[in-house]
Chain A
């Protein structure tokens, strides 16, 4: 299994600002994933964070808006840049261990 922690757990931010979300895993994993869950909606994959290389972004998501770092095999950050109210969501990181995907507790972001 995998135990994942995220910081912050929630935040309220002003539009135009940026927020960096941290994700820490208790074991070394090759890939980490960042998902977004808009209010009342399902989960959408933002990007795959690869250690030692640039993140791979899904359609509709770009590096300028969601820069990602992956400095080692247990840690990743996602930044939500130049925020607008449409960015209000839950942001979740996840990892796969033995073909099972584990999710962090999420970061609940409200942009005013």
Chain B
């Protein structure tokens, strides 16, 4: 079945440093979604990427979808303590938007 590998599992940074998490698939993806889960919270949708080579920005967050649509990344510039949480990528079963397969997640800790 479809799987998505996400690395790293954990990342500890000093406030102000950058952070990147990566997701990779062995198969071509029709879309990929990113979620953030704060400690004790539930996953919150951040963004969806659909097009090959797509780059989207949300303030300090930059999301990329690879040219081959097999990998994606989330980059945070100048991390802040509010960025703490676990970031998940997710892909839909059979390329849809409904049933999602989640990556393992990257837990980000930001030290002030």
B90: chain A residues at CB < 8 Å are 43, 101
A42 contacts B105, CB within 8 Å? Answer: yes
A100 contacts B48, CB within 8 Å? Answer: yes
* Nearest CB of A to B105, in Å: 5
B42 contacts A92, CB within 8 Å? Answer: yes
* Nearest CB of A to B23, in Å: 12
A43 CA to B99 CA in the complex, in Å? 11
Would A43 and B43 be within 8 Å (CB), given that A99-B48, A100-B48 are in contact? Answer: yes
Q: Which one of A44, A58, A99, A106 lies within 8 Å of B42 (CB-CB)? A: A106
Decide if B100 is an interface residue (CB 8 Å cutoff).
Answer: yes
Q: How many residues of B are in contact with the other chain, CB < 8 A?
A: 18
B33: chain A residues at CB < 8 Å are 101
Chain A interface category by residue count: 20 to 34
Decide if B82 is an interface residue (CB 8 Å cutoff).
Answer: no
B98 contacts A42, CB within 8 Å? Answer: no
B48 contacts A45, CB within 8 Å? Answer: no
A43 contacts B102, CB within 8 Å? Answer: yes
Decide if A66 is an interface residue (CB 8 Å cutoff).
Answer: no
* Nearest CB of B to A97, in Å: 10
* Nearest CB of A to B106, in Å: 10
Decide if A75 is an interface residue (CB 8 Å cutoff).
Answer: no
B97: chain A residues at CB < 8 Å are 96, 99-101
Decide if B78 is an interface residue (CB 8 Å cutoff).
Answer: no
Residues in chain A within 8 A of chain B (CB atoms)? 31, 33, 41-45, 48, 58, 90, 92, 96, 99-106
